[in-house]
């Protein structure tokens, strides 16, 4: 077995560890850990991410992985809107979970402090989806905690630090609707500077930089080589975008979130109220974004553990006129509207899955149109594994050739690109699905969605 890259992929729903063969990019081993909610801790005024539980699992998984193949390096990749506040001694003071409603407590006071949207390109989001709101909440509700803060670590770099002991910050996480960064200027926001948060963020390092080798105690506990390198790592959706560099200007990264990132648009098209924003790539270049919680939306329509949709089931959805109308999650272009399903009473499980697939494809089409994205589009993540999503999207969006990631997991390609310095992306072209009545269905869906938004 050749040497492998270990990819630590911390998603909002699941954490994964994947071993990718550095010779050919194949995933040769993987393990998964579902997200858990830890018990509340005294003095922490919000729900938290399961830092301790993930670390216990990760060490065990690394030990199992090291018995399969030699690990040359570890690349941490994690979801956005997450940070860990640590004390000077390295203990965790707070690891906020952005889905806690407590972060809305000081919404109005916080809104007065934020940088203008056209400077931060970070929309005002609900709950704790802006990192600044999380930090402001901690300041208001637990001032003593924040006074003892030694550093603020972004979520991928927290795991890099736990593995190698070097604290760093990185642009793709810092620039993801955080309120802490001005992407076009390439510097901290006025908010981050005035509150003193910028000084608590460690020095910036590139996502592909080696921070150090693994800590000796981690190497000993997990059976890793003491020479195993730990890279700085990056934001997960930005990783999917990075994996396609040189091939496509537009990427649809999927999972809990469906995030469309593109360079093929003007920033004048970004509209705060439609959950559009600017992220940055690993070099700090701004990237236009539109997004929705597609994974949550899909599950709400299809149900948990839904079967794969079929063309026959999709045809039945359109024939019956069954509609899923946004929104079933607190984000996206129609956030604030209440989701509704009509005409679906007689649909069987594959029919509900087909309805959910069509619904998320319509959301993606709306976001592509809002971005005015042209040219090749790459679908990555779980939606790439859905047999109908990409063909339906191609039928809805003929302006750009739709491809899907063969690996079905852009973080693997991105991690190999970061670790090896070369792209490892192999797109698969998709033919449009011939769907009688699709155009009429889309017109009806848009009309009903617009009417619901006007109420």
Q: Is the dihedral of CA 251, 35, 214, 69 positive or negative?
A: negative
Query: Same domain, yes or no, for 119 and 36?
Result: yes
Statement to judge: residues 393 and 318 lie in one domain: yes
**Residues 374 and 425 placed together within one structural domain of the fold:** yes
Domain boundary among 214, 232, 250: 232
CB contact set of 424 (below 8 Å; sequence gap of 6+):
25, 243, 412, 413, 416, 417
- If asked whether residues 69 and 156 sit together in one domain, one would say yes
**Farthest-apart Cα atoms in the chain, separation:** 63
- If asked whether residues 200 and 260 sit together in one domain, one would say no
If asked whether residues 207 and 288 sit together in one domain, one would say no
- Supply the DSSP symbol for 34: E
> What are the backbone dihedrals phi and psi of residue 412, each rounded to the nearest 5 degrees, phi first?
-65, -50
Per-residue pLDDT 10s for the chain (455 aa) are 689 999 999 999 899 999 999 988 889 999 999 989 999 999 999 999 999 999 999 999 999 999 999 999 999 999 999 999 999 999 999 999 999 999 999 999 999 999 999 999 999 988 999 999 999 999 999 999 999 999 999 999 999 999 999 999 999 999 999 999 999 999 999 999 999 999 999 999 999 999 999 999 999 999 999 999 999 999 998 988 888 877 888 999 998 899 999 987 889 999 999 999 999 999 999 999 999 999 999 999 999 778 999 999 999 999 999 999 999 998 899 988 999 999 999 999 999 999 999 999 999 999 999 999 988 999 988 999 999 999 999 999 988 899 998 766 678 888 888 988 765 556 789 999 999 999 999 999 999 999 888 66
Q: Domain check: are 208 and 270 in the same one?
A: no
Q: What is the per-residue pLDDT for 241?
A: 87
Residues 294 and 197 in one domain: no
Q: Which of 201, 232, 263 is the last residue of a domain?
A: 232
* 41, HSE (Cβ side, Cα atoms, 13 Å): 17
139 & 184 share domain: yes
Beta pairing, strands 402-405 & 377-380? parallel
**pLDDT tens column, 363-410:** 999 999 999 998 899 998 899 999 999 999 999 998 889 999 876 667
Using a cut of 0.85, tell me whether the model's pTM lies above it: yes
Distance CA 218, CA 233 (A): 18
Together in a domain, 241 and 357: yes
Q: How many domains does the chain have?
A: 2
Render pLDDT for 56-85 as a digit per residue (tens, 0 to 9): 999 999 999 999 999 999 999 999 999 999
pLDDT at 408: 62
* Domain range enclosing 415: 237-454
| Alpha helices (runs of H) in 37-183, residue ranges in sequence order | 51-66, 107-111, 117-120, 131-141, 143-147, 155-164, 171-174
217 and 322 share one domain: no
65: left (phi over 0), alpha (psi -120 to 50) or beta: alpha
Is the domain of 59 the same as that of 163? yes
Domain at 268, CATH number: 3.30.420.40
Q: Encode 127-145: b = buried (16+ Cβ within 10 Å), e = exposed.
A: bbbbbbbbbbbbbebbeeb
Nearest to 170 by CA among 73, 97, 77: 77
The last residue of one of the domains, among 213, 232, 251, is: 232
């Amino acid at each position: 077995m050749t040497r492998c890259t270990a990819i630590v992929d911390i998603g909002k729903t699941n954490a994964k560890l994947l071993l990718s063969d550095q010779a050919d990019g194949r995933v040769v081993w993987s393990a998964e850990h579902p997200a858990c909610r830890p018990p509340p801790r005294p003095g922490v005024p919000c729900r938290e991410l399961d830092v301790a539980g993930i670390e216990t699992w990760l060490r065990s998984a690394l030990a199992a992985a090291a018995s399969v193949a030699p690990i040359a390096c570890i690349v941490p990749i994690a979801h956005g809107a997450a940070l860990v506040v640590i004390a000077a001694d390295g203990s965790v003071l707070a690891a906020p979970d952005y889905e806690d409603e407590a972060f809305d407590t000081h919404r109005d006071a916080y809104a007065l402090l934020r940088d203008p949207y056209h400077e931060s390109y970070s929309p005002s989001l609900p709950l704790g989806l802006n990192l600044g709101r999380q930090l402001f909440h901690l300041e208001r509700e637990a001032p003593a905690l924040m006074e003892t803060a030694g550093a603020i670590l972004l979520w991928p770099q927290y795991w890099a630090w736990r593995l190698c002991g070097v604290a760093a910050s990185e642009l793709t996480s810092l620039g993801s609707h955080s309120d802490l960064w001005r992407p076009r200027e390439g510097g901290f926001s006025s908010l981050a500077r005035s509150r003193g948060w910028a000084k608590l963020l460690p020095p910036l390092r590139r996502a592909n930089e080696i921070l150090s080798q693994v800590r000796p105690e981690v190497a000993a506990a997990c059976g890793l080589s003491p020479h195993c390198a730990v890279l700085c790592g990056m934001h997960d959706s930005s990783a999917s975008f990075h994996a396609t560099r040189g091939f496509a200007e537009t990427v649809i990264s999927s999972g809990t979130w469906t995030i469309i990132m593109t360079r093929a648009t003007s920033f004048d098209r970004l509209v705060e109220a439609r959950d559009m924003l600017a992220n940055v790539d690993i070099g700090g270049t701004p990237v236009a974004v539109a997004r929705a919680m597609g994974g949550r939306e899909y599950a709400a329509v299809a149900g948990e553990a839904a079967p794969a949709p079929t063309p026959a089931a999709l045809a039945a959805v359109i024939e019956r006129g069954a509609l899923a109308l946004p929104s079933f999650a607190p984000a996206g272009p129609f956030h604030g509207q209440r989701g509704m399903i009509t005409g679906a009473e007689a649909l069987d499980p594959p029919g509900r899955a087909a309805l959910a697939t069509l619904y998320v494809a319509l959301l993606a089409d709306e976001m592509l149109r809002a971005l005015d994205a042209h040219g090749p589009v790459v679908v990555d993540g779980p939606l790439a594994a859905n047999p109908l999503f990409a063909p339906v999207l191609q039928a809805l969006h003929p302006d750009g050739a739709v491809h899907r990631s063969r690996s079905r997991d852009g973080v693997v390609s991105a991690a190999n690109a970061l670790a090896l310095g070369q792209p490892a992306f192999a797109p698969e072209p998709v033919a449009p699905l011939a769907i009688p009545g699709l155009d009429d269905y889309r017109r009806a869906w848009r009309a009903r969605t617009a009417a619901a938004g006007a109420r």
